[in-house]
Amino acid sequence: MAFSGYTVRLATADDAPAMFNLIEELAAYERAPHEVINTAAKLKHDGFERSNPLFKAWVAESSDGVVVAMAICYVRYSTWKGPVLYLEDIVVREALRGNGIGKLLMEACVNECRAMGYKRLTWQVLDWNEPAIRFYERWNAEFDAGWLNASIDF
């Protein structure tokens, strides 16, 4: 897929360092850089070197081959819907947002759902992230007001 000089393709192990840089940029944007404990090496291992990768990713690159954005998804199981694709993150370099790159990445995720026969694409968005909320609203996304996120860190 291409748009305005940017191409989206499946990520490879060689993309792990650039993907990790995008993760660090996202963490800074979300005001939580101190919470990133992942590494580029672990990202590479978990997504590309395991016999059963933990995620699937797409990257957007400029015409000169520079990775400028990514989407990371993985399959989770809904007791009501069966397998669904969970969109962990779409990250576009801040200076390039609003150029259609996120749309290309979202289309890659939607196409993956359709190809795999999944009945849902799901994700989370911070309630203060108005640009992201507006982006997802253009996809006719439904926002669940009645659910609270929960987690346990180890």
Nearest to 107 by CA among 128, 85, 82: 85
Residue 149's identity, in one-letter code, is N
Of 6, 86, 118, 136, the catalytic one is 136
CA distances 124 to 66, 127, 134, 144, Å, are: 27, 9, 13, 10
User: Half-sphere exposure of residue 123, counting CA atoms within 13 Å on the CB side?
Assistant: 22
Query: Which residue in this structure is represented by tokens 């015409």?
Result: 63
Query: Phi and psi dihedrals of 149, rounded to 5?
Result: -80, 145
Alpha helices in the chain (DSSP H): 16-29, 40-44, 101-116, 130-137
Annotation says 118 is catalytic: no
Region for residue 17 given its phi and psi (left: phi exceeds 0; alpha: psi -120 to 50; beta: otherwise): alpha
Q: Which residues are catalytic?
A: 136
